[in-house]
Structures are given as C-alpha cells and as structure tokens.
Structure 1
C-alpha cells in the first residue's frame, strides 16, 4: 500500500520554557468493517472487520512503529469490535514492550444513526428521499429518527477528550485513540478549529490516521495526516 503524509505546523513556536511537556495524540479510524463494504449505515451496529480492514489495521501498526513518536503510554477505543479489534491488531504489529494500558469507553462510539442503523444507504434514499438522507448524513445539526446529529456526537466525544485524554497529553504522554469516522471528525473539528461547514468536508477513510503534538496548555503545535492508498477520505 502506498501512503501519503503531510506535516502541518499549526501555531507559532511556544513561549513555554524549554523542556515543558509536549504530548502526542494519534487518532486512528478503524479498518474497514463488513457494513462499510456493503454501503450500510453502521452507526452503533457491531460488525466485524473485513480481511481488508484487518490488513489496514496491521499496516497501521507497522507504520506507527516507524514513526518518529514516543512509545504509546495509553490506548483508547470504543467497545464496538471494529474499533477494539483494530486496536488489538495495531498493537500486535506495533510490538511495543511493555504494551500500553487500554481504556475502552462507549463515549468513543460511532454516531448513532437511529432508525437508519443497519439500513442500506440506497434503500434509505428511496424510503425517506435522497435530499433528506443527505441532510441527515452531512448536516451538522440534522438528527435522523431516534439517532444523533453530528453536533451531538461532537459534544459527546469532546467532553470525554477534555476529561480523560487531555490531562494525559498535558503531562506529555503519547496516546493512541482508535475510534470511528464521525467521532474522530469531532475531535479534529475542535483541535483544528474547523467551523460547521468545514467539518462536513472532513472525511476520514478506514485506516486513516492523524498525529497531533499537544503542548502543556492543551494547544496543538503540530499536525501530521496519513492515509492508506493516498486517500484520507472514505465512506462514513
């Protein structure tokens, strides 16, 4: 697989004293799941990885091993097995000793699509109208029946980030978070300062990952983006 990468400084050099802690945050979208491959709204469903998804996760572990980042001190995933299994495969390929501690939390779950969960996307367009389905998928505040808007998802994951992840980064730890497309879009939205329109254009394909350097004030000082097969976008 070919891999594209870009390095983007996001702020001027810090005025903090030399030696102040700088944490590393590695955000990874899980490998391809069976419902990703089948064009189905996945949401809170719990399908397994495809063979391609398993390979994406192993490839990511190998790539992370070669990155210029500190050893991972703590890893996070949602309880949905496409994320948790991806994390396990990444850690096996990373082959780090000692292995990092792992936290599994439902706050990192994918966006809940409500009645759309498990539905074929083409069927949904015929049932509810293509324009309405597009609004649910790509609108920031639109809420599918019984589900979550992207706005709700962003608020959920950001509360968890501030409570559980940020304090570790401010202490200079290196953290690996394996989660879902919409969940990670929420984290990236806040870290990159994206507005509601800009975040809708951000698509993280399966196997895509981003590396952020976070200073002791919680500010991003560097960002690097990586994508399998030269594409960062992909179906959500």
Structure 2
C-alpha cells in the first residue's frame, strides 16, 4: 500500500510577521529551515522508502522539500514542481498584517475569508506590488486575483488526478511539500471532509502528515510524525 507524506513548508518570514502571504514568494526563516531539516529526520525515521517529491513553484516549499530530502539522505529523489500546488491566493489581503486586518474588518469576517470553504477575499487590484501576472514562472497561466479553498481545490485536483494519483496507484511513496491551503485541499479530497468541517482542519508548519492509502487511494491510517506539534486529524 502506498504512503503519502504531506509537508507544509517551514516557518516563512511572513508567517513570522503574521502577514497574509498567498502567492508572494517569501523565503524561510532560520526557524523554518530548522523545521524543514527536522521534517527530513522524521521522514527518515518513519522507515517509508520514498520515491518522489512534489512541490509548488514557491521558494518556501521548494527549499523545505530540498532541506528535508537532504537531511533524510534522499537528495537524489526526482522532484516535480507545479504552480497548481501553490498556496491559496489571498487577493486584496496579500501582504496585510492579520491582526490589523481583523481589527479593521472584524474577526468574524476575516475568519470567513481565511477559513471558510467557498468565500474568497476581495480580489487583488491589477498592476500593484503583488501582481504576479508577469512573473516568468507563470507564463501561460491565468494568475488568480483571489481564491477560496474551493477554488484552490479546483486547480489542485487536475494535477492530483493527472500526476500524483497515478504514481500512488503504481505503488510509489510520495512527499508533497507545499502550503497550508493547497494541502488542506488535498486533505479535503482524500478524507472527504464536509465543506462546513474543513474550517477546523489546520496543517502545522514543518510537521509531515503521513497517510497510508489503500489501492483505491482511500486513507487507511494517518499520523503526524512530530506528535508534540500535531494538529487534529481530519474527521
């Protein structure tokens, strides 16, 4: 039976500063690098013979994956990257301080924007500092102006079906180093989490969620490899 490790990137600079990041390419902090290396140790200790790494095209996920593989003695594994594994686009919230945004709009409204399944934040204005439509890595991609988790799942799922699921069905053990919301989208799909319950699912930074799957890619078991930093498992 295949194993899938979902690894949210280590702490980023904007995680530390409590800012909405989304598609902005922010690097890891020193703590984030340490979390990535610790993730590699945990993956090695799991005893699972991993075969491949998938990442987004964002630096914090790429570096987390690379640091983890290096620490696990798996720097030689093949790596595949896709923008479809990017973090959710936070629209006009991008770059804003989360606490200040809650004070301005109310905690209830910000929680809806952050955690609800199908309500996206207001769209990002074109031409601003965080407009990535001319970024070379997104050539030929219609960069979103905002995304809900539902929209994130809709662009993650084709990649899952075309690239990830076939490798799992072939018996390969995979690592996906990505982001809180692109991984929540995968968790929602795998565990069939209801729309109104996905709000309670959180992915901790730098703590692999190891999932054993059956032949139909249904979860048989799941556990965080660092039990001391574990979040509640999907319902």
Fold match by TM threshold 0.5: yes
Report deviation, 1:214: 2.2
Aligned to 2:158: 159
Extract unaligned runs of 5+ from structure 2: 124-145
1:8-65 deviation digits (Å, cap 9, x = unpaired): xxxxxxxxxxxxxx22111100000000011100111111101110000001101111
- Go from structure 1 to structure 2 and tell me whether the alpha carbon gap of 1:30 and 1:228 turns closer, same or farther (over 3 Å shift): farther
Partner of residue 13, structure 1: none
Q: Is the 8 A contact 1:169 1:215 kept in 2?
A: no
- Aligned counterpart for 1:64 among listed residues 30, 36, 43: 43
List aligned pairs for 1:19-30, cutoff 5 A. Answer: 22-30=1-9
Q: Out of 71, 81, 103, which is 1:126 matched to?
A: 103
Q: Give me the TM-score of the superposition, normalised by structure 2.
A: 0.84
Indicate if the aligned counterparts of 1:208 and 1:232 stay in contact, CA closer than 8 A.
no
Structure with the higher strand share, 1 or 2: 1
Match of 2:55 in 1: 77
Distance 2:230 2:161 in 1: 29
Question: How far, CA to CA, are the matches of 1:169 and 1:141 in structure 2?
Answer: 28
Contact 1:209 1:226 in 2 (8 A): yes
Instruction: Tell me the alpha carbon deviations over residues 188-213 of structure 1, each in whole angstroms, 9 at most, x when there is no partner.
Output: 11211211122110111111221122
> Which segments of 5 or more consecutive residues in structure 1 lack a partner in the other structure?
1-21
Larger relative contact order (Cα-Cα within 8 Å, sequence gap ≥ 6): 1
* TM-score of the pair, normalised by structure 1: 0.84
Number of aligned residues: 210
Assess, with a 3 A threshold, how the Cα gap between structure 1 residues 131 and 230 changes in structure 2: closer, same or farther.
Answer: closer
Q: Distance in 2 between matches of 1:164 and 1:49?
A: 27
- Asked if 1:54 corresponds to 2:53, the answer is no
1:211 aligned counterpart, secondary structure: strand
Contact 1:73 1:175 in 2 (8 A): yes
- In 2, Cα distance between equivalents of 1:185 and 1:196: 12
